[in-house]
């Protein structure tokens, strides 16, 4: 038996008069007492079936019992619709299948939600993900993701990168998150860690002489979930020996240009803009600036050194945004609320409106200060006065908010950029220890190679991130291939020699046996799909995601194990699982 001669999205006027077989799902059924209309759907689209009791009484009998999402097989002649019933919004809207015979292939129980229903509770959608995935939007997102991954693979293969699979059961690999651990039955009391990234392993493929590696790798990070984070991240993971930053950047740029061209028909501009971390922070108050709009931060620290306004005079940094709008009092109060949420103590402003300056602080400011700000009519200057880092945080966030609020962003723009020369280390708040800003295998820039340990706060890393529209797509670095240098970084991170050996002895040994210079990058596939699809919900670009509590409402994972199983693993329970 033939299930289908065509897909449901294919019938057009050119096929009128032919007999067709279609199989698919009932998207909609309209029962007019006599005639029954069924929209039959498969992955390619929808065709309207017409079932006429006079033409085929058996089919009509069956059709009365059909409900949404029943699977049908229909045979009949493709006919042209009468002009008044043509649907110009449907690719198959000029035709319909006049059904000769109809087969009910499988039924559906009552649906927990209709496919065209809006605002369905997300837990319900995840619980019945197979249904949810039938919706147009999710079909599109998942297909787009597959198309993109196909292009990525082709680009990497053409450039001579080899797909090498690395293990999932491994040792802790530091990327700054908590590890997922898996108990070992054969080695009771011992645990594997799921890799936070294949970082060390990909470096070992370079030591092993493979020269160019890539993998679509899943990385496991036991993080508290926020709206934009998942615990299983899929990334394009790349490494090359004898690395050349220009070559790597260009390859990535070509790859993105190809993805955008083939998936969306959009030409993106290459080469991408490059900013150093210092410049990105200075101009945009962010290490992942959205550069679709200007609204750059300006500095007034010098101009306000002797200010009578104490808040300005005493602050490490005074910076401001020049917004092309004269805000009302109410609007300013709302902005101040937001600024406070981001850690500001207040929000000083100057509104240049109708030849006047509206501002509670204007009376403290000298002519010279006002002249230095050079506000124009119809502008508002919004100030942050604090330590440098806090002014970046507040104004960076305010800038993004205003970009949307004052409508400075064009949604169909894609602005890619590289941010380079990141700080190498940051101080951990709680322990006061130095931590690697990227990961501990990242090498310092040339200038810092010999002295990163003397001024860790200032030291710069040969690390880069790729940003699009204010989203970090991923990042990478050049690596340390000298065992002594690696040990020195470990030492600065507070690791004793014994710890270095037990955690990373195998890496240090490998680096001591002829390691080539190496560098690479990892780019998030989930995030890339979100941007490509214009999809704000991270979970909607993943076929089977977990919810924000790390639970899969569909399968119920994570689930309990039996006491026997625990005994085998050498584990004991401290707590009964909830629920
Ligand atoms: N392993 C890094 C990460 O997962 C990327 C890299 O340095 O290549 O973020």
Give pLDDT tens digits for 236-276: 999 999 999 999 999 999 999 999 999 999 999 999 999 99
Computed from CA positions of residues 10, 13, 18, 24, in that sequence, does the dihedral angle turn out positive or negative?
A: positive
DSSP string for residues in 411-451:
TT---EEEEE--BSEEE-TTT--EEESS-TTBPBPGGGTTT
Q: What share of the chain is helix, strand, coil (3-state, %, to 5)?
A: 30, 25, 45
Question: Is the CB–ligand 1 distance for residue 240 below 6 Å?
Answer: no
**pLDDT for the residue numbered 227:** 64
Other beta carbons less than 10 A from residue 252's beta carbon: 24
- Helices 388-405, 329-341: crossing angle, 10 deg rounding: 130
Mean pLDDT of 206-233: 90
CB of 72 closer than 6 angstroms to any ligand 1 atom:
no
Q: How many CA atoms lie within 13 A of 334 on its CB side?
A: 7
What average pLDDT score do residues 172-200 get?
A: 91
For residue 410, what pLDDT band results from cuts at 50, 70 and 90? confident
Alpha-carbon distances, residue 171 vs 222, 311, 435 (angstroms): 14, 51, 19
Which residue puts its alpha carbon closest to atom 1 of ligand 1?
199
Quote the ligand 1 centre to 521 CA distance (angstroms).
Answer: 6
175 lines ligand 1 (CB under 6 A): yes
Terminal Cα-to-Cα distance of the chain (whole angstroms) = 49
pLDDT in tens, 487-501: 999 999 999 999 999
Closest of 197, 201, 219 to residue 164, by C-alpha: 201
Give pLDDT tens digits for 70-111. Answer: 999 999 999 999 999 999 999 999 999 999 999 999 999 999
What is the whole-number distance in angstroms between the Cα of residue 46 and the centre of ligand 1? 43
**Residue whose structure tokens are 């600036």:** 289
Averaged pLDDT of the chain: 95
The pLDDT of residue 384? 96
- The answer to whether residue 128 scores a pLDDT higher than 90 is yes
State whether residue 79 is helix, strand or coil.
strand
pLDDT attached to residue 273: 97
Q: How confident is the model at residue 172 (pLDDT cuts 50, 70, 90)?
A: confident
Whether the link from the prior residue into 220 is cis, omega within 30° of 0, is no
Determine if ligand 1 sits within 6 Å of the CB of residue 476: yes
522 lines ligand 1 (CB under 6 A): yes
Distance 438 CA to ligand 1 centre (A): 8
**Distance from Cα 476 to the centre of ligand 1, integer Å:** 5
Q: How far apart are CA 461 and CA 421, in angstroms?
A: 6
Percentage of the chain exceeding pLDDT 70: 99
Q: What percent of the chain has pLDDT over 90?
A: 90
* Residues ≥6 apart with Cβ < 8 Å to 285: 297, 319, 391, 392, 393, 394, 395, 396, 397, 399
Whole-angstrom distance, CA of residue 481 vs CA of residue 502: 19
292 CA → ligand 1 middle, Å: 26
Ligand 1 site, residue 477, Cβ cutoff 6 A: yes
Q: Which helix (H) or strand (E) holds 352?
A: strand 348-353
Distance 56 CA to ligand 1 centre (A): 63
Q: Name all contacts of 230-235 with Cβ < 8 Å and 24+ positions apart.
A: 230/526, 230/538, 230/539, 230/542, 230/545, 230/546, 231/180, 231/546, 231/550, 232/546, 233/524, 233/526, 234/524, 234/525, 234/526, 235/197, 235/474, 235/522, 235/523, 235/524, 235/525
Burial profile 154-174: b = 16 or more Cβ within 10 angstroms, e = fewer: ebbeebebeebebeeebbbbb
> What is the best residue among 438, 441, 464 to mutate for testing ligand 1's pocket, by most ligand atoms within 8 Å of CB?
438
Atom of ligand 1 nearest to the CA of 521: 8
Among 524, 532, 535, residue whose Cα is nearest residue 264? 532
Give residue 475 CA to ligand 1 midpoint distance, Å: 6
Is 507:203 a contact under the CB 8 Å cutoff? Answer: yes
Question: Do 444 and 401 contact (CB within 8 A), yes or no?
Answer: no
Q: Is residue 198 lining ligand 1, measured as CB closer than 6 Å?
A: no
Q: Is the CB of 520 under 6 A from ligand 1?
A: yes
Is the shortest distance between the CB of 521 and ligand 1 below 6 Å? yes
Q: Is the CB of 304 under 6 A from ligand 1?
A: no
**What was the pLDDT predicted at 32?**
84
pLDDT, average across residues 229-234? 90
Distance 38 CA to ligand 1 centre (A): 51
Could you count the other beta carbons within 10 Å of the beta carbon of residue 337?
Answer: 10
578 pLDDT band, cuts 50/70/90, is confident
Pocket of ligand 1 contains residue 231 by CB under 6 Å: no
Q: What is the pLDDT of residues 421-437, one digit of tens each?
A: 999 999 988 888 999 99
Handedness of CA 269, 271, 276, 277 (dihedral sign): positive
Helices 199-207 and 497-511, packing angle to 10 deg: 40
Kindly report the protein residue whose alpha carbon is nearest to atom 8 of ligand 1. Answer: 521
Q: 536: helix, coil or strand?
A: coil
Nearest protein CA to atom 4 of ligand 1, as residue: 197
> What number is the average pLDDT over the span 435-460?
96
User: Do residues 572 and 188 make contact, with C-beta atoms less than 8 angstroms apart?
Assistant: no
d(CA 65, CA 62): 6
Atom of ligand 1 lying closest to residue 441 CA: 7
Q: Which of 237, 422, 507, 527 to mutate to test the pocket of ligand 1 (most atoms within 8 A of CB)?
A: 237
Of residues 401 and 576, more confidently modeled: 401
Query: Relative to the CA of 520, which ligand 1 atom is closest?
Result: 8
Band (pLDDT 50/70/90 cuts) for residue 175 is: confident
DSSP 541: G
pLDDT of residue 513: 98
Among 335, 334, 313, residue whose Cα is nearest residue 395:
335
Best mutation site among 520, 525, 527, 528 for ligand 1, i.e. most ligand atoms within 8 A of its Cβ?
Answer: 520
Gap from CA of 176 to ligand 1 centroid (Å): 11
Give the CA distances from residue 408 to residues 30, 293, 323, 338, 464, in Å, rounded to whole numbers and listed in that order.
46, 6, 10, 19, 27
Position in ligand 1 atom list of the atom nearest CA 239: 8
Beta-carbon contacts of residue 438 (< 8 Å; ≥ 6 apart): 422, 424, 461, 463, 475, 477
**In the predicted structure, residue 579 carries a pLDDT above the cut 70:** no
- Whether 40 and 47 have beta carbons less than 8 Å apart is answered as yes
Q: Is the C-beta atom of 233 inside 6 A of ligand 1? A: no
* CA 299–ligand 1 middle distance (angstroms): 34
Residue 290 Cα to ligand 1 midpoint, Å, equals 22
Whether 29 shows a pLDDT value over 80: the answer reads yes
Q: Indicate which atom in ligand 1 lies nearest the CA of residue 474.
A: 9
Place of tokens 């498969």: 42
Which residues is 426 bridged to in the sheet?
435
- pLDDT digits 0-9 by tens, 539-567: 999 999 999 889 999 999 999 999 999 99
The pTM assigned to this predicted structure is: 0.93
pLDDT tens per residue across span 287-327: 999 999 999 999 999 999 989 999 999 999 999 999 999 99
């Amino acid at each position: 038996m033939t299930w289908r001669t065509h897909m449901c999205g294919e019938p057009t006027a050119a096929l009128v008069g032919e007999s067709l077989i279609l199989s698919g799902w009932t998207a909609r059924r309209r029962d007019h007492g006599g005639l029954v209309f069924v929209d039959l759907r498969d992955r390619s689209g929808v065709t309207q079936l017409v079932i006429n009791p006079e033409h085929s009484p058996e089919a009509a009998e069956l059709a009365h019992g059909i409900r949404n999402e029943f699977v049908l097989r229909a045979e009949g002649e493709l006919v042209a619709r009468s002009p008044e019933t043509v649907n110009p919004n449907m690719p198959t809207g000029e035709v319909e299948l006049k059904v000769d015979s109809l087969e009910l292939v499988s039924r559906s129980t009552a649906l927990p939600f209709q496919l065209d229903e809006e605002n369905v509770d997300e837990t319900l959608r995840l619980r019945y993900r197979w249904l949810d995935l039938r919706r147009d939007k999710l079909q599109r997102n998942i297909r787009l993701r597959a198309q993109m991954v196909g292009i990525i693979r082709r680009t990497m293969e053409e450039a001579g990168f080899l797909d090498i699979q690395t293990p999932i059961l491994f040792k802790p690999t530091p990327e700054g998150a908590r590890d997922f651990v898996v108990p070992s039955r054969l080695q009771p009391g011992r645990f594997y860690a799921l890799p936070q990234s294949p970082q060390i392993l990909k470096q070992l493929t370079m030591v092993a002489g493979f020269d160019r590696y890539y993998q679509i790798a899943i990385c496991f990070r036991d993080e508290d979930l926020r709206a934009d984070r998942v615990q299983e991240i899929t990334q394009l993971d790349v490494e090359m020996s004898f690395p050349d930053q220009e070559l790597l950047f260009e390859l990535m740029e070509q790859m993105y240009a190809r993805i955008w061209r083939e998936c969306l028909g959009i030409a993106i501009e290459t080469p991408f803009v490059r900013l150093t971390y210092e410049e990105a922070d200075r101009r945009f108050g962010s290490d992942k600036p959205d550069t679709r709009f200007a609204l750059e931060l300006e500095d007034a620290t010098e101009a306000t050194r002797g200010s009578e306004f104490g808040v300005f005079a005493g602050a490490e940094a005074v910076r401001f945004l020049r917004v092309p709008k004269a805000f009302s009092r109410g609007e300013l109060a709302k902005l101040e609320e937001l600024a406070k949420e981001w850690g500001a103590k207040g929000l000083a402003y100057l509104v240049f409106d109708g030849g006047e300056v509206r501002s509670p602080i204007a009376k403290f400011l000298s002519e010279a200060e006002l002249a230095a700000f050079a506000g124009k009519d119809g502008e508002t200057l919004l100030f942050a006065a604090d330590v440098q880092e806090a002014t970046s945080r507040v104004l960076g966030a305010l800038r993004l908010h205003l970009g949307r609020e004052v409508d400075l962003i064009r949604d169909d723009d894609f602005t890619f950029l590289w941010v380079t020369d990141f700080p190498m280390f940051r101080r951990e708040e709680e322990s006061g220890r130095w931590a690697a800003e990227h990961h501990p295998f990242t090498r310092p820039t040339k200038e810092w190679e010999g002295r990163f340990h003397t001024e860790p706060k200032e030291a710069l890393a040969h690390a880069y991130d790729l940003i699009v529209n204010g989203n970090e797509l991923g990042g990478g670095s050049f690596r340390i291939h000298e065992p002594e240098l690696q040990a020195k970084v470990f030492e600065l991170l507070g690791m004793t020699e014994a710890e270095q050996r037990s955690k990373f002895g195998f890496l240090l040994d490998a680096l001591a046996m002829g390691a080539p210079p190496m560098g690479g990058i990892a780019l998030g596939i989930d995030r890339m799909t979100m941007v490509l699809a214009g999809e704000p919900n991270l979970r909607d670009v993943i076929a089977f995601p977990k919810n924000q509590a790390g639970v899969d409402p569909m399968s119920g994972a994570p689930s309990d194990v039996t006491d026997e199983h625990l005994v085998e693993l050498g584990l004991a329970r401290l707590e009964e699982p909830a629920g």
